[in-house]
Amino acid sequence: MMRSRDIHATTAGMLLIAATAASLVATALLGSLLDGPGFLAGVSQHQDRMLTAGLFQLVAAFTSAAIAISFYPVLRTYAAGMALGSVGFRLIEGVFYALSAVGTLVLVALSDQLSASGVIGATTQASGELVRDLREAAAVAGVLAFYTGGTLYYLVFFRSRLIPRWLSIWGLAGTTFGAIGALLVLFRAIDTMSGPQVALNVPIGVQEIVLAVWLIWKGFSTTVPAPVADPGTPLTHARA
């Protein structure tokens, strides 16, 4: 029979893979469809593609929030406050990702006006640009929430040694680089999905896949017993 920790580790690993895959598929499907001033015409011609992207965005939203929830029962025995904080921020991430997905679906609805009349009015075009900007802002907010939540549970992983420290350090470095990229986008120093932002997100993207494989294959460390202190106490060092 699988131990409770093994179940949580395997579940988290599968969710990490699902969230990463869903996000990559959604990004690939959207491509450059939302670029340029006349983007609604492209949306109108690729509605099925947009709807599929929106679906994968919703999958990414739900699975991203579920990752921290699956970690929580284990991490709370080492640092209840930080574990709860990671859940809170990743739930916020999921909400903003869902809002971004809704924005994708709204753009499809707006593009229907072109399908019906062959022409998009100035009001519809302005509405489309507003929705596009709002969905991008929601995505950036979601990414920042992800990096905050991720930083919290990687700190707990580092202290508890539930996973190898090199993997925790990699995760902390990845969330730092990714957050820098998101802030640069927020302040319009670089464009969304530009080369610099993609490069800054590569470390955490690769790390989460490695972490997922590790959790499914190895699980949490069996040489680190859970602390016997009350879960509400500050983070404690586990015995090696």
Residues 6+ apart with CB under 8 A from 26: 53, 54, 56, 57, 60
Instruction: Work out the average pLDDT over 36-48.
Output: 91
The per-residue pLDDT for 117 is 61
Which of 51-65, 107-121, 188-202 shows the lowest per-residue confidence on average (mean pLDDT)? 107-121
- 93 class by beta-carbon count within 10 Å (0-12 exposed, 13-18 middle, 19+ buried): buried
What predicted TM-score, i.e. pTM, was given to this entire model? 0.88
Handedness of CA 199, 194, 146, 206 (dihedral sign): negative
Instruction: Work out the average pLDDT over 174-196.
Output: 95
Neighbours of 64 (CB within 10 A): 28
Neighbours of 230 (CB within 10 A): 8
The per-residue pLDDT for 64 is 95
Tens digit of pLDDT for each residue in 69-94?
999 999 999 999 999 999 999 999 99
CA dihedral 71, 73, 78, 81 (to 10 degrees): 80
CA distances from 197 to 1, 129, 201 (A): 44, 22, 6
pLDDT confidence bin for 224, thresholds 50/70/90: low
Indicate whether 235 pLDDT > 60: no
Indicate whether 240 pLDDT > 60: no
Tens digit of pLDDT for each residue in 92-123?
999 999 999 999 999 999 998 775 666 677 88
Please spell the DSSP secondary structure of the chain, one letter per residue.
---HHHHHHHHHHHHHHHHHHHHHHHHHHHTTTT-STTHHHHHHHTHHHHHHHHHHHHHHHHHHHHHHHHHHHHHTTT-HHHHHHHHHHHHHHHHHHHHHHHHHHHHHHHHHHHHHHS---HHHHHHHHHHHHHHHHHHHHHHHHHHHHHHHHHHHHHHHTSS-HHHHHHHHHHHHHHHHHHHHHHTTSS-TT-HHHHHHHHHHHHHHHHHHHHHHHT-S-SSSPPP-S-TTSPP-PPP-
What is the distance between the alpha carbons of residues 170 and 181, in angstroms, rounded to a whole number? 16
